[in-house]
């Protein structure tokens, strides 16, 4: 396994986010606006090994919808919170787009990728909230 010292140098906000945080609410709203499916948030604040406060995961049924969801998250968060992602990945294949806002990491996944990687199971010690 690769050396994970890089996780120790990653800068997280000095204050932990909550479900009432502006950024958290903006991300959920942006995903719901474009009909993201099976939206869940994993509260990682009490998980020692976590790299963020929250993972937010949703499914999209096509590569077009994956891109639309990612674009909307970028737009809404930029407008409401004046924040841009620290890092983004997955815009080439559009099977799994990851948007890293440091304390919140968004995973927009095609259902087959979500089934294969099973992030909810991998982080099963986190509290999960389902967003309808």
Question: What's residue 20's pLDDT?
Answer: 74
Question: What's residue 15's pLDDT?
Answer: 58
Six token digits for residue 90 = 């997955």
Question: What's residue 5's pLDDT?
Answer: 54
Question: What's residue 122's pLDDT?
Answer: 93
Tell me the domains of the chain and their CATH numbers.
21-131 (3.30.460.10)
Residues of the chain short of pLDDT 50, as ranges, are 1, 4, 6-7, 10, 12-14
Q: Is residue 36 within 8 Å of 60, Cβ to Cβ?
A: yes
Rg (CA), the chain: 14
Kindly report, residue by residue over 1-33, the tens digit of the pLDDT.
455 454 455 454 445 677 778 999 999 999 999
75 sits in which H/E element: helix 63-81
Question: How wide is the angle at C-alpha 15 spanned by C-alphas 41 and 77, nearest 5°?
Answer: 50
Six token digits for residue 41 = 């948030």
Prediction pTM value: 0.86
């Amino acid at each position: 396994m690769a050396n994970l010292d890089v996780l120790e140098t990653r800068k997280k906000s000095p204050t932990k986010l909550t479900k009432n945080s502006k950024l958290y609410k903006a991300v959920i709203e942006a995903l719901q606006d474009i009909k993201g499916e099976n939206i869940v948030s994993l509260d990682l604040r009490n998980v020692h090994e976590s790299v963020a406060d929250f993972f937010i995961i949703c499914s999209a049924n096509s590569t077009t919808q994956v891109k639309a969801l990612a674009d909307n998250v970028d737009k809404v968060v930029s407008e409401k919170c004046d924040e841009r992602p620290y890092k983004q990945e997955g815009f080439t294949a559009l099977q799994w787009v990851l948007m890293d806002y440091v304390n919140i990491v968004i995973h927009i996944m095609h259902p087959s990728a979500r089934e294969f990687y099973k992030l909810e199971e991998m982080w099963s010690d986190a509290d999960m909230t389902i967003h309808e």
